[in-house]
């Protein structure tokens, strides 16, 4: 059997070697960072060093960073905190389930066919809400979509939101490291990030808050994280997070983009009918969302798995279920077409040889399932 070809980086990235080394060394540091003795101070020093690293990279103050168990908790913490301020939540239709399921009575912000939010509708919704009441308003928009890779026009959205004195929350889990941004530059009020998307460990992330924004804690029972998130901090994970956030910007994203573009062009040259969702919008450099007409996502996943190629039907946070993507449905794609799509997400271990192998297998599966004959140049 051929070696496993991993092309599911948006689900989780393999641990970077430097992260493994840093975490291995940290096993020796077992003190509780809330303890005042020497071992506790050692642990706290490591944690605060990472807090400073993240603050430096994302242009914020260390005191504004709250360590969490990941972006899901950070998103929950932010949105539930806003709800406790009696805010009304306006949320894009393509948000991650960690936000989608958190707010049952949200106001849905539609997206255009290209996968970007409808800025005109955002302005209309905010104007309508503001004209009827003065309750706090929150706009929740991810920076880059985890399925299509489409980058949202966040700066324009922030301008519109600020005009109506609305808060802005942004899920940046997929964007971190792949495209340049900072908390200062985005001018949002809260921002969620995660370690395992960038070659760090699972189970650690952070919420960054505007210094003037005070949100109630989601988890109570201790004074950790300046009283904003109870529970002993995950020092091992935090150290891995700090190393990953240093290493991720050294990865060859320009080369990764070229590999992604080569993959799309080669498949399109052979089968012009295949859809690539979000292709006409700015996207993350590593992500492509490709339909295989007439072949279900489930069938594709099984066929690729038999070839020892790891792909995904979309988000990896739905208990392994394969179902039509809510992101594609929001873009106006019918259920049948949405159910024939796989997400391919490349990373720093991906090579030209990997792309050649993927193209060969993709074409063989498509021909076998549909009797399609590729175009001859």
Give the active site residues: 317
Q: How many helices (H) and strands (E) does the chain have?
A: 13, 11
Which of 253, 281, 254, 273 lies closest to 375, judged by CA?
Answer: 273
Q: Are 192 and 172 in contact (CB under 8 A)?
A: yes
End-to-end CA distance of the chain: 32
Distances, alpha carbon 263 to alpha carbons 100, 101, 257, in Å: 32, 34, 10
> What's the chain's length in residues?
377
CA 284 remoteness from chain centre: 10
Q: Are 283 and 10 in contact (CB under 8 A)?
A: no
- C-alpha to C-alpha distance for 304 and 316, rounded to whole angstroms: 17
Listing DSSP states for 108-147 in one string gives EEPB-TTSSB-HHHHHHHHHHHHHH----EEEE--SB-TT
Per DSSP bridges, beta strands 341-345 and 287-291 are: antiparallel
Q: Are 268 and 276 in contact (CB under 8 A)?
A: yes
Please count the CA atoms within 13 angstroms of the CA of 155 that sit on its side-chain side. Answer: 5
């Amino acid at each position: 059997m051929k070696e496993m070809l991993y092309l599911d980086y948006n689900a989780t990235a393999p641990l970077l070697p430097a992260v493994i080394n840093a975490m291995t060394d940290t096993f020796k540091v077992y003190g509780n960072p809330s303890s005042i003795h020497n071992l506790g101070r050692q642990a706290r020093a490591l944690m605060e060093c990472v807090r400073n690293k993240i603050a430096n990279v994302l242009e914020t103050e260390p005191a504004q960073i709250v360590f969490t168990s990941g972006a899901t908790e950070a998103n929950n913490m932010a949105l539930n905190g806003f709800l406790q301020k009696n805010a009304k939540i306006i949320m894009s239709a393509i948000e991650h389930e960690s936000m989608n399921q958190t707010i049952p009575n949200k106001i849905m912000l539609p997206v255009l066919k290209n996968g970007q939010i409808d800025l005109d509708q955002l302005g209309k919704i905010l104007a309508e809400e503001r004209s009827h009441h003065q309750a706090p308003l929150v706009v929740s928009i991810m920076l880059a979509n985890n399925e299509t890779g489409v980058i949202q026009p966040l700066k324009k959205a922030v301008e519109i939101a600020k005009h109506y004195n609305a808060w802005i929350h942004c899920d940046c889990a997929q964007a971190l490291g792949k495209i340049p941004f900072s908390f200062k530059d985005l001018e949002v009020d809260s921002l969620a990030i995660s370690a395992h998307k960038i070659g760090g460990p699972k189970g650690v992330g952070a919420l960054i808050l505007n210094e003037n924004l005070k949100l109630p804690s989601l988890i109570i029972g201790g004074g950790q994280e300046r009283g904003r998130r109870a529970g002993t901090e995950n020092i091992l994970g935090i150290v891995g997070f700090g190393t990953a956030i240093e290493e991720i910007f050294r990865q060859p994203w320009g080369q990764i983009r070229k590999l992604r573009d080569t993959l799309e062009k080669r498949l399109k040259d052979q089968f012009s009918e295949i859809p690539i969702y979000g292709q006409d919008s700015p996207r993350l450099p590593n992500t492509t969302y490709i339909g295989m007409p007439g072949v279900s996502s489930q069938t594709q996943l099984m066929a690729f798995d038999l070839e020892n190629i790891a792909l995904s039907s979309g988000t990896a946070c739905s208990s392994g279920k394969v179902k039509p993507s809510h992101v594609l449905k929001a873009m106006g794609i019918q259920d049948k077409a949405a159910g024939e799509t796989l997400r391919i997400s490349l990373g720093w271990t991906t090579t030209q040889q990997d792309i050649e192998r993927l193209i060969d297998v993709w074409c063989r599966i498509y021909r076998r399932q549909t009797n399609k004959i590729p175009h001859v140049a």
